[in-house]
Amino acid sequence: MEKPAASRTALATALMRAAHTRLDPHPLINDPWGDRLVPELVKRAMAPSDAMLDESLMRSQSYANVITRTRYTEDALQAAVTQGVRQYVLIGAGFDSFSLRLPAFAANLQIFEIDFPATQRLKIQRIDACGMALPDSVHFIAADLSQESVAAALARSPFETKQLTFFSWLGVTMYLTREANLATLRSIASCSPAGSEVVFTYLDEGVFQAQSESFRELERRVAAIGEPFLSGFNPAELAASLAACGLDLIEDLNGSEAAARYERGGGHRLGRSLFSHMALARVK
């Protein structure tokens, strides 16, 4: 069944990226589009003023991960393009603005955005409202990935299964069961050639057992908006889990490691992600 409304977490993360771009003295990304793609009514439902909304977003426990994962993914994508990647698939694209920003290195990329119909529909409406016309290289694929595989969704588009591809899957795995996550990873490996890559984020499954107060607060918040956490991965077993799906683990960064990589001399307000990891894997 189609979700009745656009993902609230997808809307919030778009606003986090925009707030970071505007307010951080040493921003890691340049993404002003959240302020334009997110409807004003949604913003006012989150906070009564822009200043209060910005403060709330930048204090969120998800903020550091949202910003570092965007930078990490686009760094990895740029490197992959130099190795021959010509297709970029955003799984659960949400209100990611890569298709609007199109950095120079993406000039020859075919871009495929897969997302729930309701979320994708609102995004397309907002792009139209902004007066933006996307190039023919951008393809939207509405799909409920609990009912349809990534490979099947891509088969309904001009996607080429023999072309080196880069996949991003950000801020999604924690809302799916472990079985659904493994099925998606297998599907990625099945529809792209060896050497293709995927960046994805996940929760360390240990936090579900540890149940720190800060994690319980975050868990309650996402459950309250109808998007509860369902699963994570064990970092110690991730390489084996990926190998069984046809993928080699290249890198896995926890929040502290990501913060160390993107430290800007202590001048930013980024902090570090307490629970999330970013992983890069390659199709065997």
Q: What is the pLDDT of residue 264?
A: 64
Q: Which residues pair with 69 in a beta bridge?
A: none
Residue-wise pLDDT tens digits, 216-255: 888 888 999 889 999 999 999 999 999 999 999 999 999 9
Distances in Å between the Cα of 186 and the Cα atoms of 150, 153, 166, 247 are 9, 14, 15, 8
Give the burial string for 57-90 (b: 16+ CB within 10 Å, else e): bbebbbbbbbbbbbbbbbebbeebbeeebebbbb
Length in residues, the chain: 284
Q: What is the rounded distance in angstroms from the CA atom of residue 81 to the CA atom of residue 235? A: 28
User: Which region holds residue 11: left if phi is over 0, alpha if psi is between -120 and 50, else beta?
Assistant: alpha
> Shortest CA distance to 94 belongs to which of 180, 201, 185?
201
Asked if residues 109 and 81 have their Cβ atoms less than 8 Å apart, the reply is yes
Q: What is the pLDDT of residue 3?
A: 42
Task: Read off the DSSP letter of residue 88.
Answer: E
Residue-wise pLDDT tens digits, 16-44: 999 999 999 889 999 999 999 999 999 99
Q: What is the pLDDT of residue 4?
A: 47
CATH superfamily to which 8-283 belongs: Vaccinia Virus protein VP39 (3.40.50.150)
Q: What is the rounded distance in angstroms from the CA atom of residue 145 to the CA atom of residue 254? A: 26
Q: Which of 3-17, 84-98, 150-164, 243-257 has the lowest mean pLDDT?
A: 3-17
Domain spans, the chain: 8-283
Tell me if residue 152 falls in helix, strand or coil: helix
Q: Which of 143-157, 169-183, 231-245, 255-269 has the lowest mean pLDDT?
A: 255-269
